[in-house]
Each structure stands twice: as structure tokens, then as C-alpha cells.
Chain A
């Protein structure tokens, strides 16, 4: 019995060895600090599911990036900083060249690994969350808050409201209520909106909702008395459907409510039922499954039974598509880095960092990827680690999200000025000498 056992084990081991020898193709490892349990599981399973599906697509359809197959491993963080740090350390040395990129999809974990990642030479990519002033690549060479930041988003929302009113000068004397999650995340909105209020002359009233936000009666009473022209919903989790329902109860029109990208997913509107109809929210990616890239995932990944999502109806949802955006950006950065450091080779985190910094996803490239309009064109540079800073607005029609705007720009000079000011203060505190971008290749 025992002999049989060990013989079996030996055979299995030999098989394992043989397969790893036979499969001597280059592999690029990507560590995934995912969260599929806990209060934010709905977001986490969508984002990481979409991301994995896109990488699977690259492997199945293209045979990897120039022949380099993508491998990955998930590590459950539970959206908890301590677990996130453990995952970061665990994934760091995996694969032939170590972890290529760390994207925790959690602002807390991002802060916790910021310094370590720079020492270990692993780029940290934070798409739509994280440290806003890290957009100044001269001070934060290893951090990439790509596409847009909270500050750009706040400014884009004000621009969107201005357009709806028929011009930015019409904002003068208007009343805007800010209903925000009373946490560090919610307070990110304050400084920028205060500046914009002073610039455009609208009156901003900030109303806090304590975490988790399933009780908002007094806040909406206050809003009813105030009668604001618009309400910006800066919410998270259960706070969003509660706000929509409370708005319906006091009769505040949902058409006048604009949410941020963490308030604008199916998970936020479906629980509110009919009360959500007419609500508009920002997003750096859009919902919908009728994009060629999502169709390809269905065909090449789910067609072969290799899909990651357990609930297939969520393919094409806001969070899922956000994961696909993560996948596209990661893959394209590796592709870019291969152009410099050798096609068909597995790269280190340091080399992939160059790929992120020189990433240029123009309309032509997006079209080739089948993602036109799915995410905005993105050009990164040494000084600017953010990119376009634009968002699209989508309106919930009661059954799905409908895109109602083109990419809306932010007040670039104002936002960039704040970012540079904040980054300079950080550099001073930490004794960092900003890079000279003219010397970067």
C-alpha cells in the first residue's frame, strides 16, 4: 500500500518535472491581491474576475504576449491592510522574474506597500483609487494612478454639471450638495471641490454619512431643506442604494444626482430598485458586453470553459469591465516594455515599470484591441503618471447603464497644480529629490 503510494507520488512528481521542462516557454508572473470575501467582495470578484479573464484571453487567443504566457496567482486580502502586506510579500518573489506589478484595488493597501515597492522595484498601479498626488511621476517613479484620480473626477463632475446647465458661467449662485462617505476616501473630495466652488461661484454644502451609511434620514432632511440644484454622491457600498432610496422618499429627483465611479455600478443601483432610475454616475470605463474585447472573452475564454466568473450574467457589468481595463493596461505595459527589453522575454518589475511610463494607448491601438470607447486613450509620461484624467457619464435607465456623455475633461491646470503642490510637500517631508524628466529615456 505504502509502496504503491510512493510510486504514485513519484510518477506524479516526474510528470510535473516533465511538464515544466517541456513547457520551457517564457512566463510572466502577475500577482493578484484579490478580495472575494468580506464587505467589498461584490466589487473585488468583478474586478479580479474581469482581469483574469482578459489575461486568459491573451493566453488562449494570442498565445501570450509575443509568445510569453501570462501566469498569475491570487492571494486573498479581504480588503485588509495587514493581509494585503502579507500578500505583497508572498507574491513578490514568485515566478521566474518575480512579481511584475502590484495592483491591490484598495487605497489602504496601496499606502502600506508604497515605500516597499519602490525598494523592491515593483511598480504599483492604482487605477481610480490610491494616492492622488502620486500622479507626479517625478516624486513617485514607481506609482501609477492611471487614467484618472479622485481630484480629476471631482473636477470632471463639476464640468459635467456645468455643461448640463449650459455653460460654466451658469454655475454661479447654484447650490450643490456633497453627500460623502465619512472616511478618508470621502474627504478626498473636499479640497478640490472647495477650490472649484470658489472659482465658479457655486455654493457647496458638505454632508457626511457615517460608515456604512445604511441610515440617511437626517442627511436627506437637511438636503430637502437646502433644495440643492445638484447632489454629488461620493459613496461606497451600501451607502449608495440607501441614498437613492432616501432621495426617492423625500422626492429629490435622481436626475439631479451625480455619483462617483465607486457609486456607479450595478451593485449600487439594482438594490435600490426603481428608485435608482435616472441616476447618473461617472466612470473611467463603461458598462456593456457589446464591445469586441468582451465578445472575444466570451468566445475564446468562456467558449472553452475557462472563464473566471461564476455568475456569467455579470460579464459586461461595470466592475467586470473595470477588471478588463486593468487587464488591458497591464498587458499593454508589458508589451511596450518588451519592445525595449526584448520581445518574447519574461521581464522584471523594473523593466515593466518603463513600459507603464511609456505607455501610449491611442485610438488606433484601442481599436485594434477592440476597446474603442471602452476606456479613454491613455498616454503616460515621466512627469505625468495619470494620463487623460477624463470620465464618461452613464445613466441608469432602470435596467442597465446607458452612456450619456463623451469623455469629460477635468480642469487640468487646477488639478495638476494641486497634485504638484502635494507631491512637493511629500518629497520635502521624505527627503526625496524629484527626478529630472528630461534625462529619462
Chain B
């Protein structure tokens, strides 16, 4: 009933090619953007903005980055956190060493720096595939973190290797309050997510998907493999790099190489697997799932059981439940949360008269 599309005709190519062909979706999307862009910063308290919503948005961006590479172009990568580290340290050094560097430009340059490194580590993808490529990107993970620790220049010779992010200032306005930081993050993520959505629907995206589905066939029909794969690495790393810079500047406020370890790379990989491989929406759903569920459990388990369980057992129980839920979701819906939403939508379009 809600989703009736009777009477909605597409009378031009532009209308046919929209991201949301159904009017209800467009209204829903606009409401969603309004809610998260305007209402949330006005209403939410500091805890929600700082500790919950900002990280979800940032990890969504990183997950979009990995999704472009793994979900769309079919290249398995375990180096996402390292590319985030490149972005974070690049932004820090650009702002530190270039006088009057505007923040948004630094953000873009951080992304470009990450893209450059990404292309470099994407080179093996021309020869190796699948799990072997994952191992090659694993090398990126360890190598980049090692370089950032090894050469103190990157952290401006800080004795502990940890650097504090500078103040974010755009056109004279200092982004200090949690609301301001959230809005900035939201704006950057929204713009980049929209760009990603359009990119994967364009010729580039189709080239990626062709390579993903069968690279020999794609080559035969005229896609240049090297260009397509390296472009996927570049774009993916760009997104991860920007996410890393945001992580440092609007979320944690400090940068340290060990923070971007293999665990984080795995986490981002889990986000796209849970959310849905090859789906932009999935990146958001997956990030929300992986970031929020442990926090929810940490609140829930002590509230339910009190001190009846030992503190150590309560902490381990959370991990057990978390892992169990991941397995449950993967069995129930192997294509991720995005697929669940898609099924729900199909049903809604027919509801309440499925016949």
C-alpha cells in the first residue's frame, strides 16, 4: 500500500536513470538526510554524537571504499586500515607542513596520497587473484604501519609516535563542538557516498563488475584490465584515506600507527560481508552493525545479569554473543543486511495483495 508505484511513469532517460526510481524512496531518502543532517545534531546528546554516530559514519565511508574494491571490482583486500593510516598521517603532515592549508583540501590530498599508495599495492592484482591477492594486500597492512613507526618524520618526531590532530578550521569557523564535527563528517560522507553510488552505476562501475564476474571475458570484450583494476584500487584507497583522516580529525583526535592494525582491516571486511558485498547501502548497515552491537551488548549483558557473572566472563560472553549473531545473520541471509532490506522492499511493493 505504502509502496504503490502505480501512476509513476518514466518519460525521459534522466528519470529512468535515477538512483531512486520510486517516488516513495526519494521522499524517504530526503527525510532520512534531513533527519541525520539536521534533526539529529539538534537533538542528540554529546555521547550519541561523539561515540556512536560519528564513528558509524566514518566506518561506513571506509566500508564503501572496501566495497568498491572487493564488492564491485572483486579484488579481495586486507589493507583497508593501512590505507586509512596513510590518509590520517597524510592529512596531519599536510596541515602541519603547509602554512594555511585548508582542511578540506588536506582531506582531498590525504585521499589522493592514500590512492597513490593503494595503486602501488594494487599492482600485484594484475598477476594474482583471490586469496593470494589478499595475502599481498596483507603485506601492505604490515609494511605501511611499519614505515609510519620506523620513520619519525611522519609523526613529527613525537617521542611516543602518537600525534594529536590539529584543530579543524574551515573559512575561519573552528569545528570544536561535537555537533559541528558530526555535521562536517556527515556532509563529507554524504557527498562521497553519493559519488560512489553514481560511480558504480557508471561505465566505470560496470567495467569493475565485468572484471569481478570474469576477468578473461571482460578483457575479451575490450576492458583494459590493468586500468580497471588499478582504478578500483585508487578509488577504494581514496575513500579509505579520507575515512582515516576523518577518524583522526573529527573522531579520535589523535593518530597513532598501531591504531590502524590488522584488526581494524578485518573489522571493515566484516562490515561489508555483514552489510552486503557490492552494495553502498550495505556499507552503512554493516558499519552500524559492527560498531553498535558490541556497545549494545556491553550495556545489555551487565544490565541483564548484574554481577551474577564474573566481570571477566561477562566480557567474554559479549564476544561469544557477537560472534554467534554474525554467524546467525550469515546463515539466514548470506547476501547481507542490504539484501534483507531489498527483500522487504519487494514484499512491501506487493503488500497487502501479494497475488
Contact = CB atoms under 8 A, between A and B. Distances in A.
A115 B253 contact: yes
A369 B217 CA distance: 78
A93 to B, nearest CB: 8
Contacts of A76: 298, 315, 318
B159 A41 contact: no
Nearest to A52: B311
Contacts of B162: 107-108, 111, 131, 184
A62 interface: no
B294 to A, nearest CB: 7
Interface in B248-273: 251-254, 256-259, 263
A41 B314 CA distance: 13
A188 B161 CA distance: 8
B149 A184 contact: yes
Nearest to A182: B149
Interface of B: 46-47, 50-52, 55, 146, 149, 159-162, 164, 251-254, 256-259, 263, 294-295, 298, 302, 310-313, 315-316, 318-319
Contacts of B311: 34, 36, 45, 48-49, 52, 74, 308
A187 B161 contact: yes
B164 A115 contact: yes
Nearest to A48: B311
Interface in A64-118: 73-76, 80-83, 85-86, 89-90, 92-93, 107-108, 111-112, 114-116
A49 B311 CA distance: 9
Contact of A85 (B51, B149, B161, B316): B51
Nearest to B178: A89
A183 interface: yes
Contact of A131 (B160, B253, B295): B160
B253 A112 contact: yes
Contacts of B149: 182-184, 187
A310 B312 CA distance: 8
A422 interface: yes
A214 B52 CA distance: 36
A187 B149 CA distance: 9
Given A37-B319, A116-B253, A188 B298 contact: no
Contact of B50 (A89, A115, A310): A89
Contacts of A422: 159
Contact of A41 (B46, B254, B258, B312): B312
Contacts of A81: 252, 254, 256, 259
Contacts of A85: 50-51, 251-252
Nearest to A74: B311
A133 B161 CA distance: 13
Contacts of A75: 298
A422 B254 CA distance: 17
B262 to A, nearest CB: 10
A108 B163 CA distance: 10
B286 to A, nearest CB: 16
A34 B314 CA distance: 12
B164 A187 contact: no
A4 to B, nearest CB: 21
Contacts of A187: 149, 159-161
A30 to B, nearest CB: 15
B289 to A, nearest CB: 15
5 contacts: A37-B319, A52-B311, A81-B254, A107-B162, A310-B313
Q: Tell me the dominant secondary structure on chain B's binding face.
A: helix
A310 B310 contact: yes
Interface in A20-66: 34-37, 41, 45, 48-49, 52
A148 interface: no
Given A75-B298, A81-B259, A191-B159, A45 B47 contact: no
Given A108-B256, A112-B254, 19 more contacts: A36-B312, A37-B318, A45-B312, A81-B254, A81-B256, A82-B251, A83-B294, A85-B251, A108-B259, A111-B164, A111-B254, A112-B252, A112-B253, A115-B164, A132-B160, A182-B146, A184-B162, A184-B258, A430-B164
A111 B256 contact: yes
Contacts of B318: 37, 76
Contacts of B258: 108, 183-184, 211
Given A82-B55, A89-B50, A37 B253 contact: no
A309 to B, nearest CB: 9
B312 A90 contact: no
A80 B295 CA distance: 13
Contact of B160 (A48, A107, A308): A107
A146 B331 CA distance: 51
A335 B29 CA distance: 55
A351 B307 CA distance: 30
A341 interface: no
A184 B312 CA distance: 28
A41 B316 CA distance: 10
B118 to A, nearest CB: 23
Contacts of A45: 311-312
A432 to B, nearest CB: 12
Nearest to A86: B51
Given A81-B252, A308-B311, A184 B257 contact: yes
A300 interface: no
Interface string A365-398: 0000000000000000000000000000000000
B161 A82 contact: no
A248 B302 CA distance: 45
B314 to A, nearest CB: 8
Given A86-B295, A89-B51, A114-B164, A184 B256 contact: yes
Pairs of residues from A and B, 6 with the lowest C-beta to C-beta distance, nearest first: A184-B161, A89-B51, A36-B315, A86-B51, A111-B254, A36-B312
B298 A132 contact: no
A174 to B, nearest CB: 25
Contacts of A82: 55, 251-252
Contacts of A430: 164
Given A81-B259, A132-B159, A308-B311, A36 B316 contact: yes
A185 interface: yes
Contacts of B160: 107, 111, 131-132, 184-185, 187-188
Contacts of B310: 310
A409 to B, nearest CB: 22
A192 to B, nearest CB: 9
Contacts of B298: 75-76
Contacts of B50: 85, 89
Nearest to A93: B47
Most buried by A among B47, B51, B298, B312: B312
A74 B259 CA distance: 22
